[in-house]
């Protein structure tokens, strides 16, 4: 099926023949696709109708960039609607395993304490570095500034900043040995 800008403009004006042609020409393709994707779960008519509704909304909003790819757009919207429908259907299904409570995924308290202790040790060692090294590490890792900004503020290239950072981190590692 070849769609062009004229077809798209007629579709936007809601020409009855154009709208009917779009729906009738793509309905068999969508139904075959939905039979394959859904395999008995969900109502293909509802998904097909929602697909065409969303496509018409996209056309009305002027969000169809290439008229010749309208068929692909409809198939993509159909896939998205089918995925959303499956996701909604799965959300209402009972939990497998008879509703057993899922395992606790929170970090163990020991690991959390070790992480906090290690972090405190690292920042204590950072504070023992020279002023330039400390400021560089704090800006990049604690304040989360971009390397490009930090290099520009220091009047050096990004490569030069990376070299300084590598040397500062090497001196920091040396304090742990």
Domain boundary among 91, 106, 141: 91
pLDDT at residue number 96? 64
Statement: the pTM of the whole predicted model exceeds 0.85: no
Q: Nearest 5°: CA angle at 15, between 21 and 77? A: 55
Answer yes or no: do 130 and 80 share one domain. no
Q: How far apart are CA 9 and CA 67, in angstroms?
A: 9
Q: Is residue 105 one of the residues assigned to a domain?
A: no
Q: Are 71 and 3 in contact (CB under 8 A)?
A: yes
Q: Is residue 86 one of the residues assigned to a domain?
A: yes
Q: Is residue 97 one of the residues assigned to a domain?
A: no
Lowest mean pLDDT among 51-55, 70-74, 101-105, 166-170: 101-105
Give the domain CATH number at 64: 1.10.1740
Q: Are 4 and 67 in contact (CB under 8 A)?
A: yes
Q: pLDDT, tens digit, for every residue of 81-131?
A: 988 888 887 766 666 666 677 777 887 888 889 999 998 999 899 999 999
Answer yes or no: do 14 and 82 share one domain. yes
Q: pLDDT, tens digit, for every residue of 154-174?
A: 999 999 999 999 999 999 999
Q: Are 81 and 51 in contact (CB under 8 A)?
A: yes
Q: What are phi and psi of 73, to 5 degrees?
A: -60, -45
Answer yes or no: do 15 and 62 share one domain. yes
The full length of the chain comes to 177
Q: Is residue 80 one of the residues assigned to a domain?
A: yes
Domain hosting 48: range is 5-91
Considering the chain, what percentage of its residues have pLDDT values greater than 70?
92
pLDDT at residue 66 greater than cutoff 70? yes
The more confidently predicted of residues 97 and 64 is: 64
Q: Is residue 104 one of the residues assigned to a domain?
A: no
Q: pLDDT, tens digit, for every residue of 14-50?
A: 999 999 999 999 999 998 888 887 766 667 888 999 9
């Amino acid at each position: 099926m070849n769609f062009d800008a004229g077809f798209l403009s007629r579709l936007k004006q809601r020409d009855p023949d154009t709208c009917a042609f779009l729906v009738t020409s793509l309905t068999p393709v969508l139904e075959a696709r939905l039979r394959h994707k859904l395999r008995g779960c969900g109502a293909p008519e509802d998904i097909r109708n929602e697909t065409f509704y969303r496509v018409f909304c996209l056309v009305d909003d002027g969000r169809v960039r290439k008229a010749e790819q309208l068929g692909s757009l409809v198939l993509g919207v159909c896939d998205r609607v089918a995925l959303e429908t499956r996701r909604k259907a799965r959300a209402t299904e009972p939990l497998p395993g008879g509703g057993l409570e899922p395992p606790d995924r929170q970090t163990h308290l020991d690991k959390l304490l070790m992480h906090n202790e290690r972090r405190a040790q690292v920042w204590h060692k950072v504070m023992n570095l020279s002023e330039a090294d400390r400021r560089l590490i704090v800006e990049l890792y604690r304040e989360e500034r971009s390397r490009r900004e930090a290099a520009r503020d220091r009047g050096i290239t990004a490569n030069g900043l990376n070299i300084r950072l590598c040397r500062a981190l090497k001196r920091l590692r040396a304090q742990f040995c």
